[in-house]
């Protein structure tokens, strides 16, 4: 990666590149008219359209213009950044510019694929590109840093989705913490008789999953617990978990239920027929 240069003091010289994406974009958006419109925006030095910007010839257009026209910002209007943002950042870097002076606009999924009317789709693309040109002026050079991460995983919620996620991650070798605020796993599914659309027995599906939690030595279950705080950043989160007291020794408990009859801890007053009765609630 090139050393980050401070282009904030230079007048923006922006190159804009619009991809046809075959007919995915060009079949709906007037890319020729779009390029002509963008070329007239302030700070835009060059605006080009090309059939496939992600191809080697398309990337070479960017590199060549950075070198010859001394561009210090690059905007590409094409498909989703999930597909090719890294591709164009690399092309920007290979052209000699910090890769974070690049910005990508999605005019395929956000425009061409959801708007069948050519004129309105083209107008929307103009607005998206105009905003991108204004935004990229404020980009700053960044550098990539590598930091150690904590590979452990926290799954919040012990319903069927949380159990399945925790077990899948545990099978992949991650150390997993499964936190559930109720005393038992199961969530809403544990209250159902049958499940849609097959009308299978809910307990028949859920119970093996619940029992299976204990099969994973790297899956730590924290029931009757709640998340009190989260701090840090991706890969290095610190989570504070409050584990509520059960008033029993979990290592010795056999779930016989005898302690419930003589539990002195919690009384829940109830009113029935104008008379106050006291009943116990076990935790």
Same domain as 92, residue 22: yes
* Amino acid 281: pLDDT: 46
What contacts 275, CB < 8 A, 6 or more positions away?
none
Same domain as 174, residue 128: no
Residue 216 is part of which domain span?
Answer: 153-245
* Amino acid 225: pLDDT: 95
Same domain as 160, residue 125: no
Same domain as 109, residue 35: yes
Domain count, the chain: 2
Same domain as 126, residue 167: no
* Amino acid 265: pLDDT: 63
Judge if pTM exceeds 0.75.
no
Same domain as 127, residue 159: no
Write the DSSP string, 87-149.
HHHHHHHHTTS-GGGEEEEE-IIIIITT---HHHHHHHHHHHHHHHHHHHTT-----------
CATH classification at residue 169: 3.50.50.60
Whether 206 is in a domain gets the answer yes
Whether 125 is in a domain gets the answer yes
Residue listed under structure tokens 């404020």 = 138
Whether 273 is in a domain gets the answer no
Backbone angles phi, psi at 79, to 5 degrees: -95, -155
What is the full per-residue pLDDT of the chain (283 aa) written as tens digits? Answer: 444 455 556 899 999 999 999 999 999 999 999 999 999 999 999 999 999 999 999 999 999 999 999 999 999 999 999 999 999 999 999 999 999 999 999 999 999 999 989 999 999 999 999 999 999 999 999 988 888 999 999 999 999 999 999 999 999 999 999 999 998 899 999 999 998 888 889 999 999 999 999 899 999 999 999 999 999 998 899 999 999 987 778 788 887 877 777 776 655 555 555 554 544 444 4
CATH classification at residue 30: 3.40.50
Same domain as 204, residue 111: no
Whether 62 is in a domain gets the answer yes
Please state whether the peptide bond connecting residue 197 to the residue before it is cis, i.e. omega within 30 degrees of 0: yes
């Amino acid at each position: 990666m090139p050393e980050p240069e401070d282009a904030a003091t230079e007048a923006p010289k922006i190159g804009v590149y619009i991809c046809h994406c075959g007919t995915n974009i060009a079949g709906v958006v007037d890319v020729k008219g779009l390029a002509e419109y963008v070329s007239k925006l302030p700070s835009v030095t060059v605006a080009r359209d090309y059939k496939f910007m992600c191809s080697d010839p398309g990337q070479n257009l960017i590199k060549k213009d950075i070198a010859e026209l001394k561009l210090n910002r690059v905007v590409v209007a094409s498909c989703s950044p999930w597909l090719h943002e890294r591709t164009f950042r690399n092309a920007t870097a290979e052209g000699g510019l910090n890769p974070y002076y690049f910005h990508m606009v999605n005019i395929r999924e956000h425009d061409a694929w959801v708007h069948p009317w050519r004129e309105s789709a083209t107008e929307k693309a103009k607005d998206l590109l105009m905003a991108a040109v204004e935004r990229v002026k404020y980009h700053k050079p960044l550098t990539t840093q590598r930091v150690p991460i904590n590979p452990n995983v926290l799954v919040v919620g012990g319903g069927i989705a949380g159990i399945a996620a925790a077990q899948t991650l545990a099978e992949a070798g991650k150390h997993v913490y499964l936190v559930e605020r109720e005393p038992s796993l199961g969530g809403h599914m544990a209250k159902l008789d049958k499940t849609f659309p097959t009308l299978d027995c809910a307990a028949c599906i859920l119970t093996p999953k619940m029992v299976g939690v204990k099969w994973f030595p790297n899956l730590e279950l924290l029931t009757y617990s709640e998340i009190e705080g989260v701090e840090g950043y991706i890969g290095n989160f610190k989570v504070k978990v409050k584990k509520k007291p059960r008033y029993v020794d979990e290592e010795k408990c056999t779930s016989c239920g005898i302690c419930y009859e003589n539990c002195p801890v919690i009384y829940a007053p109830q009113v029935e027929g104008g008379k106050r009765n006291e009943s116990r609630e076990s935790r």
